[in-house]
């Protein structure tokens, strides 16, 4: 009888130990799954070349920035054309520059250490008598271009263009893909964005019999085109959408 009681006690202890182990393993797995599902995690740029990534949550950061900031007038960058280069030439050949056309305070948003991504959207032509980004009046009635082609460069505060990109085939009111730019080394100042050229499809669609104007050509010097940019840095949420 004593032997049977002893066996019963041993079996009872073994059963309780096994149950405790199973419960502990189940609880741990459930907790990990819950954390993953409830948190938005993005790869960290500091992960290097390792196959294992560190992660950060950028959902608490402010949204990406619209450029140029809208203070008055119509939204977006407005520039004259250059099909006759000596008429309404952009200052120093640069159509628009964050260094020239944005306030010193607003330029501070372009400081970054690890992320500098840009996308563009073509906008319909500005209204007659709108003033372009360089203070010149758009004297002509707006024309119906459907696409733009815009070339930009990114550089340090002092120096020439380091990175260039052509945003091609920009449809009206549709965002382009996102261009991810590398960050220049040894800079603690805001980066500079410059618009080097802007072309339209209107000369092609208006006079399709002359293929030299297709698919894009210089905007007529008395006319204006309009587009806007969005930029994300390490101080904002990242831009959504596909990448080049």
- Residue ranges per structural domain of the chain: 1-35, 62-233
Q: Cα dihedral angle (28, 30, 32, 37), rounded to 10 degrees?
A: -170
Confidence bin at 33 (pLDDT 50/70/90): very low
- Ranked by mean pLDDT, which of 4-13, 61-70, 81-90, 185-194 comes out on top? 185-194
The beta strands (E) that lie in the chain are given as 42-43, 55-56, 65-67, 77-80, 96-97, 116-123, 147-155, 163-171, 179-180, 192-200, 217-218, 224-233
pLDDT score at 60: 79
pLDDT score at 188: 87
Taking each continuous run of H as one helix and of E as one strand, the counts in the chain are 4, 12
Average pLDDT estimate for 75-93:
85
> Is residue 98's pLDDT more than 90?
yes
Confidence bin at 206 (pLDDT 50/70/90): confident
pLDDT score at 36: 22
User: Measured between alpha carbons, how far is 178 from 119 in angstroms, rounded to an integer?
Assistant: 5
User: Measured between alpha carbons, how far is 164 from 152 in angstroms, rounded to an integer?
Assistant: 6
pLDDT score at 5: 54
> Is residue 65's pLDDT more than 50?
yes
Average pLDDT estimate for 48-61:
53
> Is residue 196's pLDDT more than 80?
yes
> What average pLDDT does the structure give for the chain?
80
> Is residue 154's pLDDT more than 80?
yes
DSSP H/E element including 38: helix 2-38
> Is residue 64's pLDDT more than 50?
yes
- Peptide linkage before 215 cis (omega within 30 of 0): yes
pLDDT score at 19: 45
Average pLDDT estimate for 133-138:
92
> Is residue 179's pLDDT more than 80?
yes
Average pLDDT estimate for 199-211:
85
Of 208 and 51, the structure prediction assigns the larger pLDDT to 208
Of 146 and 6, the structure prediction assigns the larger pLDDT to 146
Average pLDDT estimate for 86-111:
90
């Amino acid at each position: 009888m004593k032997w049977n009681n002893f066996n019963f006690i041993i079996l009872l202890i073994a059963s309780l130990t096994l149950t405790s182990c199973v419960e502990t393993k189940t609880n741990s797995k459930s907790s990990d799954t819950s954390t993953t599902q409830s948190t938005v995690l993005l790869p960290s740029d500091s992960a290097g070349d390792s196959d294992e990534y560190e992660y950060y949550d950028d959902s608490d950061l402010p949204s990406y920035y619209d450029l140029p900031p809208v203070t008055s007038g119509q939204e977006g960058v407005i520039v004259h054309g250059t099909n006759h280069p000596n008429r309404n030439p952009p200052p120093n050949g640069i159509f628009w520059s964050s260094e020239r056309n944005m306030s010193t305070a607003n330029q501070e948003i372009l400081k970054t250490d690890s992320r500098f991504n840009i996308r563009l959207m073509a906008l319909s032509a500005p209204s007659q008598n709108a003033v372009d980004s360089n203070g010149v009046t758009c004297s002509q009635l707006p024309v119906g271009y459907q696409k733009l082609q815009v070339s930009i460069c990114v550089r340090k505060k002092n120096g020439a263009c380091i990175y260039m990109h052509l945003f091609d085939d920009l449809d009206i009111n549709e965002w382009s893909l996102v261009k991810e730019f590398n960050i220049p080394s040894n800079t603690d100042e805001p980066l500079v964005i410059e618009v080097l050229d802007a072309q339209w499809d209107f000369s092609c669609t208006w006079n399709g019999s002359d293929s030299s104007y297709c698919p894009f050509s210089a905007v007529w010097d008395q006319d204006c085109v309009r587009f806007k940019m969005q930029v994300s840095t390490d101080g904002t949420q990242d831009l959504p959408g596909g990448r080049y």
